[in-house]
Amino acid sequence: MKLLEYVNLEVVGSVKGKDLLTWFDYSSTEVKKLLELAGALKSLAKSDVHPPLLVGKTVGLIFEKHSTRTRISFEVGVNQLGGHAIYMHARDLQIGRGEPVSDTGKVLSGYLDGIMIRANSHKMVEELAHAATIPVINGLTDLFHPCQALADLLTIHEIKGYLQGQKLAYVGDGNNVAHSLIIACAHLGVNVSIASPLGFEVDSSILAKAQKLAVLNGSTIETTMNPIEAVENADVIYTDVWTSMGQEEETAARLQAFEGYQINEELVQHAKPDYLFLHCLPAHREEEVATSIIDGTHSAVFQQAENRLHAQKAILASILS
């Protein structure tokens, strides 16, 4: 679907009206085209050009968790595309007082053109998407964070120039960020090595499915409990916090479990000399990453954060325009 001939812009027409709950729901071609669109929209934005692809569209943004990057990037993204975003915290909706998720989905479908939700439970988001007759975009759940992964790949592509065959080492908790990252990397031929301590590995069923997808695209996904093994000859090193929101009571136990998994000057010596460091933020300096690394010359965490905006604009434009 070609729009706005004067900028030669194409949205990914095959995903129009489609939910985005996990990248397993999309083809490798669709993920690649969304990535290309994100880059094109970013280039236009840098020239103060914002294609009005969502004029007349209203997107509801539902949050069960606090947010900086997700909330602001989605609000700005919808606005830049000419649409209107409505921020809604779950506690202010009837869903926060016990209204069935299915009822909420049906009601909102009569008002809105799309829903983005940042939720505690992936099962709840699946229930919402099943009931709604409008597209639902996963802004984060306990299992997946697909928008973050697309922004990650955009950042790697911008800096490294290509994705196929790159080695990404993920060191830390096998959480929602890790799950979406391995799926997105599998779609685009990025090799992944994940190092997590016992008890904090990525979900085995998600891993197996991602590994099968990786084979189809000429890459591998490997796991280890040895951070040095994971980082060996890596092009990209990625980590996330060891204790996420809602896990605060586990902080002491997690600090002990993740001892030896910090991204620091000693560990990065095993990566390629021009390695790239990524972190989805917020970061806990001197826990999962040394200050000298995250604030050093190899770090692209703020470019990565900005790319949430451009990646999500590509998703919104393709699903809703």
* Active-site residue list: 118, 145, 148, 240, 280, 308
Q: Is 254 annotated as ligand-binding?
A: no
Phi, psi dihedral angles at 307 (to 5 degrees): -70, -15
Q: Is 70 annotated as ligand-binding?
A: yes
- Cα–Cα distance for residue pair 58/61, rounded to 1 Å: 10
What sign does the dihedral 24-26-27-28 (CA atoms) show? Answer: negative
Other beta carbons within 10 Å of 296: 12
Q: Which of 77, 117, 111 is nearest to 96 (CA)?
A: 117
Q: Is 308 annotated as ligand-binding?
A: yes
Q: Is 285 annotated as ligand-binding?
A: no
Rg (CA), the chain: 19
Q: Is 146 annotated as ligand-binding?
A: yes
- Cα–Cα distance for residue pair 216/134, rounded to 1 Å: 31
Phi, psi dihedral angles at 63 (to 5 degrees): -125, 125
- Cα–Cα distance for residue pair 194/172, rounded to 1 Å: 8
CA atoms within 13 A on the CB side of 237: 33
Q: Is 176 annotated as ligand-binding?
A: yes
Q: Is 292 annotated as ligand-binding?
A: no
Q: Is 152 annotated as ligand-binding?
A: no
Q: Which of 6, 4, 25 is nearest to 14 (CA)?
A: 25
Q: Is 245 annotated as ligand-binding?
A: yes
Extract the runs of DSSP E, i.e. beta strands, from 69-112.
84-89
The DSSP bridge partners found for residue 48 are: none
**Binding site for L-ornithine: which residues?**
176, 240, 244-245
**Binding site: which residues?**
67-70, 94, 118, 145-148, 176, 240, 244-245, 280-281, 308
**Binding site for carbamoyl phosphate: which residues?**
67-70, 94, 118, 145-148, 280-281, 308
